[in-house]
Amino acid sequence: MEPSHDQPHVPGPSLWPIGFALGIACVLVGLIVSWPAAAVGAVIAVACAYFWIRDAARGYRTPVVHEPESRAVAAGAAPPASAGEPALPVMEDEEIERFPRNVFLEGATLGLGGLIGGLVTVPAVGFMVAPAFVRQHAKSVDVGPLTDFPEGQYVIATFLRDPSQGEVSRRTAYVRNNGVVTGRPSFTIISNRCAHLGCPVQPNGPVFDAKKNVVQTTQGEQVTIIPMQPAGFGCPCHGGQYDTEGNRIAGPPVRSLDRYDYEIKNGHLVLLGTYSVAHVDGTGSGAKIRRYGLAGPGEHITGPEAWFYPLQPPH
Q: How far apart are the C-alpha atoms of 50 and 54, rounded to whole Å?
A: 6
Residue range(s) defining the domain that contains residue 29: 11-62+97-134
Count of structural domains within the chain: 2
How distant, in Å, are the alpha carbons of 9, 17, 129, 130, 310 from that of 125? 35, 22, 6, 8, 20
Indicate whether 259 and 279 sit together in one domain: yes
Q: Say if 269 falls within a structural domain.
A: yes
Crossing angle for the helix pair 35-61 and 16-33, to the nearest 10 degrees:
160
The listed range with the strongest mean pLDDT (18-32, 106-120, 214-228, 283-297) is 283-297
Q: Does one domain contain both 128 and 216?
A: no
- Report yes or no on 74 lying in a domain: no
> How confident is the model over 225-282, as pLDDT tens digits?
999 999 999 999 999 999 999 999 999 999 999 999 999 988 889 999 899 999 999 8
Q: Are residues 117 and 162 in the same domain?
A: no
Q: Is residue 4 part of a domain?
A: no
The reply to whether 125 and 149 lie within a common domain is: no
Predicted local distance difference test score (pLDDT) of residue 285 = 83
CB atoms within 10 A of CB 169: 14
The answer to whether residue 294 is domain-embedded is yes
Among 81, 109, 134, the domain-final residue is 134
Same domain assignment for residues 274 and 186: yes
303 pLDDT above the threshold of 70? yes
Q: Is residue 89 part of a domain?
A: no
Residues 29-71 pLDDT 10s: 877 777 788 888 889 888 888 888 887 776 555 565 666 666 6
Q: What is the pLDDT of residue 117?
A: 78
The arithmetic mean of pLDDT across residues 136-143, rounded, is 76
Q: Is 146 domain-assigned?
A: yes
At 82 the pLDDT is 66
Q: What region, left, alpha or beta, does residue 181 occupy, with left being phi > 0 and alpha being psi -120 to 50 degrees?
A: beta
What's the CATH number where 296 sits? 2.102.10.10
Q: Are residues 51 and 151 in the same domain?
A: no
pTM of the model: 0.59
Q: In this structure, are 104 and 184 located in the same domain?
A: no
